Structure 1
């Protein structure tokens, strides 16, 4: 007779072992209001709506300050295209920068990489291979310099700020050496035509930005690479323990940033029909600022391509607004600086106060 049989003892209920991976949905125990208003996706939506509101406000300011211009529908459409074309080159750079920052890094060398890729692509030797050779050279130089950044940071264990700052100086110096501190003229009609070509009335440069942004969005939101980027930026040690090769992934992020710089170099060369060592000056600051106001955390682990693009368009709209009103570049830079500070302060709070207040009132 086994223990408990015929003795009146009751058998303890059997406990079913927990199934591996059977994790309760995170929203299951969350109040209804918190499900609606909380969470990263809703926070991103709120932030993007706020950015759209800022964009609308800038348009209203333009209409109030220059009503005679905004009353002309043809001028308004052409002005919108000008803003988008102005945002196209820095927008492509910002897509790569967004990935780097989400991955927990920073890249201060993007402007210098654009300059180096543009100068290398417009040398006499490179142009002798035609437009295909120019594009290949620009992209290869961009990816190559990005890989060097990644190697220094991942395997050389240099701080990203220091490594990319050193690359900024080195790449600018190499570009000046290659060009002899002279402006190099692009002789390729195909390359130069990229800036003047329009499809359905929209500049080709805008289409290039749209394609790069769409690929970036899919890569970040629909692939393992994107999920690993968020994991590495959010907690590198946890990502390593989860089996992610953090060093290799970080290197690939900087290579991706370099690829975007190579594409941007061709676009910028097409706009100017030339390249020089001083081109793309301060692009790194504009790209970082656009990513920040778009919601990308400087500490890594969070960010969106859509938000970064809205940030780029807002800065391009501010530049355009100041230009049509004849205001100085200094005043424009002060406004941009104020926007960056405000964006960082908002990031610091991460809308927690608002979402918690709404959650309490909805639950």
Structure 2
């Protein structure tokens, strides 16, 4: 206190704030935030739309439209009812697998085994012993085998703490071996007329397989977007530790995600057994890669936490349409695979750009 202050008994007046003095923390934070907002590049409404889930889906619709234009120009039979139904039927089986894979990838995992789990379920459901009990037991057998394989995957990943890539790769190999062992490496003919008739049944001119596909997609969409299970799936994929601290049983939920994927493989097994009238260990070869690729180009992040089921289904339709165009134009299979590989790389690059834009925004 100064001499003047001591004589008057009052504190001296505060010195005025000079430029050399440090401003309050709140003012400093506001100034930094304002500078950051000024430095950020302005994003147009179109850019924000393209980075959103709806924008990515619109982009896939545009790709589908472009493929249809190419089909009309290059193949006279592309727009025929028969060919369009062929595309939908081909998309149905991989589409059902894709629904399950979408759940797993959004939850931060990966499932390489769905194709061969489907083959194993188709073989187990079409053995002579199983078929002797009728179509209901065949369906239940396929669903049980698929779900059981998914549960094994989930338990090893969640409680065994093994990397999903390794677990599902091991399941792929094991399921292939079991399918070959049970079938003796021979195709087993579906003798039950009910199962064999599923693929041949049409309602309003549309194959029953397409309706099954649509039903699985509808149920999957509701579960993913309108239930606690779906919200927890996104939360675990985005940050599993934060989800655990929020009270989510991450390990149990992970097991359930892989069980969902296995259940979808069981449904697909009945569909492919009906379509081909066989149960075979050769079913589903590379189907898992097609399913994962469809999920990726549909906008689902491989790291988890973000994705849409509609985008995954649009991805399936894009790949199926490309395959159909190659067949109609008699192009080699290897060229088709190259085209798919390029599409996957482009999709991943677009994902990376979207992530950078989201981080910047």
Which TM-score applies when normalising by structure 1? 0.85
Of 172, 175, 178 in structure 2, the residue corresponding to residue 174 of structure 1 is 178
> What's 1:61 paired with?
70
Q: Where in structure 2 are the equivalents of 1:277-316 lying within 5 Å?
A: 277-316=281-320
Partners of 1:256 and 1:350 in 2: how far apart?
Answer: 29
User: CA shift at 1:62, angstroms?
Assistant: 1.1
Does the 8 Å contact 2:77/2:83 carry over to 1?
Answer: no
Does the 8 Å contact 1:37/1:355 carry over to 2?
Answer: no
Residues 184 and 309 (structure 1), Cα distance of their counterparts in 2 relative to 1, 3 Å cut: same
Q: Where in structure 2 are the equivalents of 1:266-345 lying within 5 Å?
A: 266-345=270-349
Q: Deviations over 1:92-130 (max 9, x none)?
A: 000000000000000000011001100000011100110
Structure 2: gaps of 5 or more residues: 1-36
User: CA shift at 1:290, angstroms?
Assistant: 0.2
* Higher Rg of the two aligned structures: 2
Partners of 1:302 and 1:39 in 2: how far apart?
Answer: 16
Q: Deviations over 1:278-297 (max 9, x none)?
A: 11101110000000000010
> What's 2:164 paired with?
160
Structure 1: gaps of 5 or more residues: 1-28
Partners of 1:118 and 1:243 in 2: how far apart?
Answer: 38
Q: Deviations over 1:302-348 (max 9, x none)?
A: 11110000000000000100011010111101000000000011111
> What's 1:101 paired with?
105
Partners of 1:40 and 1:157 in 2: how far apart?
Answer: 39
Partners of 1:344 and 1:38 in 2: how far apart?
Answer: 18
3-state SS of paired residue (1:281): coil
Q: Deviations over 1:135-170 (max 9, x none)?
A: 000000000000000000000000000000011101
Answer yes or no: is 1:206 the counterpart of 2:210. Answer: yes
Residues 175 and 69 (structure 1), Cα distance of their counterparts in 2 relative to 1, 3 Å cut: closer
Does the 8 Å contact 2:112/2:169 carry over to 1?
Answer: yes
Partners of 2:165 and 2:145 in 1: how far apart?
Answer: 21
> What's 2:245 paired with?
241
Partners of 2:304 and 2:90 in 1: how far apart?
Answer: 28
Could you list the structure 1 runs, at least 4 aligned residues long, displaced by more than 3 angstroms after superposition: 33-42, 351-356
Answer yes or no: is 1:253 the counterpart of 2:267. Answer: no
Does the 8 Å contact 2:50/2:56 carry over to 1?
Answer: no
Partners of 1:130 and 1:95 in 2: how far apart?
Answer: 28
User: CA shift at 1:221, angstroms?
Assistant: 0.4
Of 38, 49, 59 in structure 2, the residue corresponding to residue 50 of structure 1 is 59
Partners of 2:262 and 2:344 in 1: how far apart?
Answer: 24
In angstroms, what is the RMSD of aligned CA positions?
2.1
Which TM-score applies when normalising by structure 2? 0.85
Partners of 1:354 and 1:313 in 2: how far apart?
Answer: 27
Q: Deviations over 1:162-216 (max 9, x none)?
A: 0000111011101111111111011011111111111001110000010000000
Of 171, 182, 185 in structure 1, the residue corresponding to residue 189 of structure 2 is 185
Residues 38 and 231 (structure 1), Cα distance of their counterparts in 2 relative to 1, 3 Å cut: farther
3-state SS of paired residue (2:326): helix
User: CA shift at 1:354, angstroms?
Assistant: 9.6
Partners of 1:39 and 1:155 in 2: how far apart?
Answer: 40
Of 113, 118, 125 in structure 2, the residue corresponding to residue 114 of structure 1 is 118
Partners of 1:286 and 1:41 in 2: how far apart?
Answer: 24
3-state SS of paired residue (1:196): coil
Does the 8 Å contact 1:100/1:257 carry over to 2?
Answer: yes
Does the 8 Å contact 1:315/1:336 carry over to 2?
Answer: yes
Aligned length in residues: 322
Residues 351 and 246 (structure 1), Cα distance of their counterparts in 2 relative to 1, 3 Å cut: closer
